Amino acid sequence: MAIKSRQREEAITTAIGTAQYPWVNTPSTKFVPEGEYSCNIILTKQEGEAIIKKVEPILEKKQKEQAEESGKKVKTYELPIQLEGDTYVLKAKLKPVNGKRKDGSDYTRSLGLFDSKGNPWDREVIIRGGSKVRLNVRPKTWFSPLMGVGVSLELLAVQVIELADGELSSQAAESFGFTEVEGGYVNGGETLDQALDAEEEEEDIIKADF
């Protein structure tokens, strides 16, 4: 089934919520051979509705454009954030992207992982369901003749505030909009600025509003 090209939108930073089914340390190959990162986040009704207010206009704009192009009514697919009981569940995914720098060298854009101080995450430390996290996601519109117009949420980065086992710490990954959170998990290693400096030549550096 062919899906037409998607257009890039501004990234969105979620409120702190509870991670559900996170596969963020490494990409899963269970359903996608080339690998795919994914994480759901559970948000309050108010927090979920705030995300919907940002995503719905993007979907409506794409629907209007597609209808004008095709000359007929176009249906919409459900949003990747749905009310389940008293809370919203937001679903986001990311396929690693291989590319080339201007100097011709290869690179792989993978998921950004940070602790609450903005330190790059030690990927040996497993982020489990139940952890308190924030996500940075980018809405991407798409169209298929079968499903109509839809919006998916590309998972750009995850900030861990509290691990599911209860470990805590403090501060943020400013380039992803992650502001300081007192009492959050603190990871060792280089700072976020150091990590970004090392990657600044990549063609597709992730930019967001944490």
Per-residue pLDDT of the chain (210 residues; tens, 9 = 90+): 444 444 578 999 999 999 999 999 999 988 888 889 999 999 999 999 999 999 999 999 999 999 988 888 899 999 999 999 999 999 999 987 676 677 777 767 789 999 999 999 998 999 999 999 999 999 999 998 889 999 999 999 999 999 997 443 333 344 456 666 777 766 655 444 444 444 443 434 444 445
Length of the chain: 210
Angstrom distance (rounded) from CA 121 to CA 131 = 14
CB atoms within 10 A of CB 52: 16
Angstrom distance (rounded) from CA 122 to CA 119 = 9
Element (H, E) at 42: strand 36-44
What DSSP designation does 65 have? Answer: H
pTM assigned to the model: 0.73
Angstrom distance (rounded) from CA 129 to CA 41 = 9
Alpha helices (H) along the chain: 45-70, 192-199
Element (H, E) at 157: strand 148-162
Segments making up each domain of the chain, as ranges: 12-199
12-199: CATH topology = OB fold (Dihydrolipoamide Acetyltransferase, E2P) (2.40.50)
